[in-house]
Chains A and B, each alone.
Chain A
Amino acid sequence: MALPPSLRTSVTPPELELVASEQLVEIIPLVSMERTAFISGAYGPLRPPTKCKMPLWMASNLKLKKKCHIVPPTWLNVDFLQDRLTQETTLPSFSEMPFRFAEIAKILLDVAPDDLQNPEKLRTLLKDIREARQAKSREGLSKLDPNELILQNLCAMEINEIRPFFVRGMAVLTQLTREPPPVEPMDET
């Protein structure tokens, strides 16, 4: 069929990464380049060592060819993530994280660990934050009702993870509440 079954119900993580890679990051170029017109806009000129903003996919491309250094976004450092982790473990609601933090963090940790301070600690912090939020999502499943479920501060990758369960669960709940339960307790069908 036109769309393979694996793609019919949700978006795959690589596709989420594609969407997240459109976001702008700052880089410190190591080579110079003229201002070039791309489909999503014109970027450059690159004049080392002045910083420049460009989409993440471009930055990671250049980084892999060792032509730039990436400046990590303001939220990707140990203090910020540590603070968020304490918020996650102490408060029952989700703390505010950048919407696509999982994808962006993954790309940056894979491509540019040398541009980040303490990548190992960042990895453990991100893992802990992820586990804390997953635990909260699991509790959120009990709050499912056929009308509406508000999820404050949930991020793209997490929504994608919980999507199959929550969508099916809510669909079944909608069915159950739409059709009033049968009155006879004797008929077992």
Chain B
Amino acid sequence: MATSEAKNERRRRTELLQFYGGVSKEDTPYNINSKHFNHDMYVQKTIKESSLKQLLEHEAQMVSEIQTLDSDCQTLVYDHYDKFIAAADIVRKMKEGSVKMEAQITRLQENMGRITASSTSITSALQERRGHLSRLLGVHGTLRKLEFLFHLPQKIDECIADKNFTEGVRSYVETAEVLHRYRHMPSFNAIHDDCEAAVGRLNLALKEQLALKEGSARHLTECVDLLLQLGEPAEGLCDDFLAHARTKLEDDLSNLTKLAEAAVILEEDEALSQGAGEETTGPDHTKEQPSQEETGEEAKLECTTVDILEFVDICHETFVGNLWLVISSYKEMFLRSPEEGGSRSSSVALEKLRVFVAGLVEQYVAVVGVRVTAEPDTAHYAPLTTALDKFHRRLHAITQLLPNTNFGDAALSLVIEAGLARCQSSLSALKVELAFSLGDVRHALAAPRHLTQDGTESTHRQLNEHLTRLVAATAASIKERVTALQAFTQPKHTFAVRAEFRRRFCRELVREGVVVAFFLHITDTMLQFCHKKDKDPVLLLLLSRMCLDLHTSTVHYLLSHCDEQLQLEDKTGLTQLHTITDGMREAGQKLLNHYVHTQGASISQMLRRSVELKDWLGCGEPRSVRRVMRTVLDEICTMDTQVGALYEEGNRRDRSSDSSRRTFHSVGASRGGAGGRSAWSSYTPSQLDNSLVANLNKLWSERIEIFAPVEFTRVSILTGIVKISLKTLLESVRLRTFSRFGLQQVQVDAHYLRTYLWSYVADEHVLNVLLDEVVTSASVRCCDPELMEQRVVEFICDQS
């Protein structure tokens, strides 16, 4: 047996070994721990494979291992022996104890038998009484329930009287099922009928409560909830509920409307009283205050003090709060999850709610719109935007409460509308400011006319002051407006974050609608000055310079400032900077041209009259330059001072060659001709026709554009004026007939002008050509053309 077990065990072990793949190593005859160990082979292998030293070490190791194994074996044997002895002891003791126990157990069995017998007898004795008792208890419970049922109608009535509807409904709902179940029994039926009657009364009472207008929304909700519990049909009830809620909310709305309209009236009154105040003696606060109070009292309520923030808060407390309550309680009552009340009816109910809310919100938005419109346009928009933000935020919240609605959009469009109104009023305010500052400058220029002739310095200072003030005021007012309007775009406002709003407001309204529109307005205003006849020429000059300043720097600065402030990065579709600056430049150019034409015309007028009114045939030998020429020079000098104050000098064509030729001309004239003819006439024998010479002269000179546009420089402007004046002189001369002395007078005048005008013109050549042509024309129109000696001409001019 033992051998078979051992065999089994061994087999299992080998199987395990095979399974884990340890066989090859473990089962070799060289493994000392293996069952296949062959000591001869091992010894031979060890001897063969190992060196002597290794053998010696191996031997020592083997010896010590053998010793260890021996001692282990001995210990095991001793241990087993001890345990065996102890076990033998215990067995012996147990044999002694078991004899005593047997007797005790037998006695215990006897006692138990006796107890069982007595208990059985007691039970049988009490059996009958217990059954009776339990029946009595049952009857008692039923009776109490019945009593409650009998009293129920009464109790409900009490509840109605006490207005303790909740208690009444609860007690009915608890018992309703029982009553319903036992309705077939006559007595219960009576109770049931009574109950139904009482519940009907309860129902009526609740509906009465519902109809009361003073009831708060919470109270309303309670009533409807109770009615629902009483099994009232939800369909009709939600209509009732909404109808009652509507009256309540419409009350709120009408109150708000009153507030808003009061604000409108107040605003109008204020505007009126302000207008009146301005008409009389400026702002007089002591006078205005009582009048305001009076109007406030007339407008009833103490709404005079309701500013827009308070207004929105009131909206929130009354209408929006109640609406919120109505929606949430409605949802709670009528829109339970689909499993509870059919999905179809709830979707109908939801649709009803949606229509209801949409209608009310529409009215509400309109009312707020009225109030926002009434808000006066101070340049400080923070309260307004905060109010708008609150308004928007709350409507947005309602949207979230009620799916598939979008009141946020309605609110946003109101906000945009408010923004639009502010932008428009900003633009018109800017226009008014511009008109004011232009008017100021005009008055300043018109009033101290004498001061401008004080001297170059003061003229310079004054004109530059005006210019700086004008440009600075314009720039400042634009910046101020943009900054004020930025109240709308502050990220703390929820609406300001919406891309739709940003796009509409920043791009279309502020940038295009205010800044760009104002620049275009400036350009238009400037251009209008070109078409008015009675304008002060200095004003034209100043404005042209302003346009140029705006063109070169100010517009660029302001527009990029605006873009930066509004964080406009995508500039596609926006008005380009250069379209504005180009317009400015064009306006400046037109103003300057207009200035040149006006000034040229005024000098032309003097020259023309002087030529027209003089008797050129009967005049005597010239002794001096005519006075009008000096006046003309004075005028041009004044203009030069004004222009010089505002414009840089500019380039003038190199003078040296021209002047040298001119001197040659004069020298040739004074020496050459026997008759003292100047250069052009020295080539002109009397038999040769003058006009041929004139044509020859023209061949060599470029065509002169008299009304050519001028550049933005002092020299170019003055050249323009001089050209127009001299052309007039030429044309006037051609209309008259001259005697010899008349011609000589023209010669003297022309020389005088040449001597003093050269410093003002860009190209002296132009001056010479025009003046030569004047003298030529005069000599053609002369019956006895004989020029004065150049020396005498110079002498006369020096004398003057």
- Chain B binds chain A: no
